[in-house]
Amino acid sequence: MKVLIFGSGVIGTIYGYVLEKAGNEVTHYVRPGKVESLAKGIKLDLLDGRNKSAKINETYNLQVTDSFPDLDQFDLVIVSVRHYQLENVLPLLAENMGKTDILFFNHTWDEVEKIEKYIPRQNYLLGFPGAGGGFVKNGDIVLNGALMDKVYLGEVDGIYTQRLEKVSSMFNQAKIKTDIQKNILHWLWVHFAINAGLGSAILKSGDALEFMKSISKIREGVLCAQDAFEVCKSRGVDVKSLANAKPFSLPSWLVAFTFWILLKVDKPQRRIFEYYDGTEEMKKIYDDLTNTAEKNKINMPYFSKMKKSIAQA
């Protein structure tokens, strides 16, 4: 497939590399002035969750353009930006869209309403990556992080379409499993709530390393996530039916202990936490969920107590 990736951030870089290795023709659209800085490529230092003992240590010489192309020349456009930045890129996508399918591959809370002001539903699908990390610039650009063995995909309407099969097959050929959700929007909202809860506890802890080594701090995040599920329920989500929420139905101490163990044994997942540099994003996720809770009159005792710590982070 011929794929355009919007940007050269963590997610775009990791999947651009993996998809290119699987035989796809990948181009990254980057902002004007960034092409030169990427001339030497991006050095990858990744744990590869597709094979638990594997690592990726090589330079990704990505193909880039700073001139936004006609999207009809591509089979797929992948957009993975922080959710609060998405509205800024939608006019550009709409202006050049044509009939190309677009995969929005990031956190989603209120974004579908914004997307559909610009992009017809028949032109896009939703998903969420299984990768993460952070950049280090020390002469060369180095990306430290991890790739998991699964991504999440779905159509907003819940139907199984030919393009969903096509995108799923593209990831499968790169040895990445696809978990296709019947209600991808509800799955994304629950995932957003989990990240809001855990993220607020990470900010209060000072950093991810402090958070990961403390069961009590992890439990704070779990309690916050359980609060945040009530907001999802107020939006009509059957939280208990979603696999990503089921572990949180257990007592908070048990969930926290299990998560603490997971972060010790699951090295790719731990590495994502270690290198994720998202203070601004975690604050915005907290604020967005809080605003919806206030609008829907949902009481969140544990989540609300984090407000002061979030503001000071």
> In what side-by-side order are the strands of the sheet with 101-105?
64-65, 25-29, 2-6, 76-79, 101-105, 124-128, 150-154, 177-180
The confidence band for 98, taking pLDDT boundaries of 50, 70 and 90, is confident
% of the chain exceeding 70 in pLDDT: 100
Q: Which domain-ending residue is among 148, 182, 216?
A: 182
The mean per-residue pLDDT over the stretch 132-144 comes to 88
Q: Which domain-ending residue is among 123, 152, 182?
A: 182
Q: What count of other Cβ atoms lies within 10 Å of the Cβ of residue 266? A: 17
Q: What is the pLDDT of residues 31-87, one digit of tens each?
A: 888 898 898 999 999 999 998 779 999 999 999 999 999 999 999 999 999 999 999
Number of structural domains, the chain?
2
The answer on 164 and 218 residing in a single domain is: no
- The pLDDT of residue 303: 97
Label residue 163 left, alpha or beta by phi (over 0 means left) and psi (-120 to 50 means alpha): alpha
Q: What is the pLDDT of residues 149-180, one digit of tens each?
A: 999 999 999 999 999 999 999 999 999 999 99
The answer on 232 and 176 residing in a single domain is: no
The per-residue pLDDT of the chain, averaged, comes to 95
The answer on 138 and 29 residing in a single domain is: yes
User: Is pLDDT at 304 greater than 90 in this prediction?
Assistant: yes
- The pLDDT of residue 97: 83
- The pLDDT of residue 138: 75
- The pLDDT of residue 140: 82
Least confident piece of the model among 48-52, 138-142, 218-222, 240-244:
138-142
User: Is pLDDT at 293 greater than 90 in this prediction?
Assistant: yes
Write the CATH number for 160. Answer: 3.40.50.720
The answer on 108 and 44 residing in a single domain is: yes
In contact, 160 and 186? CB cutoff 8 Å: no
The answer on 252 and 151 residing in a single domain is: no
Say which residue, 36 or 12, is predicted with more confidence.
Answer: 12
- The pLDDT of residue 136: 87
Around 205, how many Cα atoms within 13 Å sit in the side-chain half-sphere? 21
In contact, 250 and 223? CB cutoff 8 Å: no
The mean per-residue pLDDT over the stretch 212-238 comes to 97
User: Is pLDDT at 137 greater than 80 in this prediction?
Assistant: no
Q: What is the pLDDT of residues 189-199, one digit of tens each?
A: 999 999 999 99
- The pLDDT of residue 33: 83
The mean per-residue pLDDT over the stretch 130-136 comes to 94
Say which residue, 21 or 34, is predicted with more confidence.
Answer: 21
What is the domain extent for residue 32? Answer: 2-182
Q: 175 to each of 15, 137, 280, how far by Cα in Å?
A: 12, 29, 32
The answer on 112 and 59 residing in a single domain is: yes
- The pLDDT of residue 196: 97
The answer on 172 and 229 residing in a single domain is: no
The answer on 226 and 90 residing in a single domain is: no
Q: What is the pLDDT of residues 232-282, one digit of tens each?
A: 999 999 999 999 999 999 999 999 999 999 999 999 999 999 998 889 999
Q: What count of other Cβ atoms lies within 10 Å of the Cβ of residue 255? A: 20
The answer on 166 and 209 residing in a single domain is: no
The answer on 222 and 82 residing in a single domain is: no
Q: Which domain-ending residue is among 134, 167, 182?
A: 182
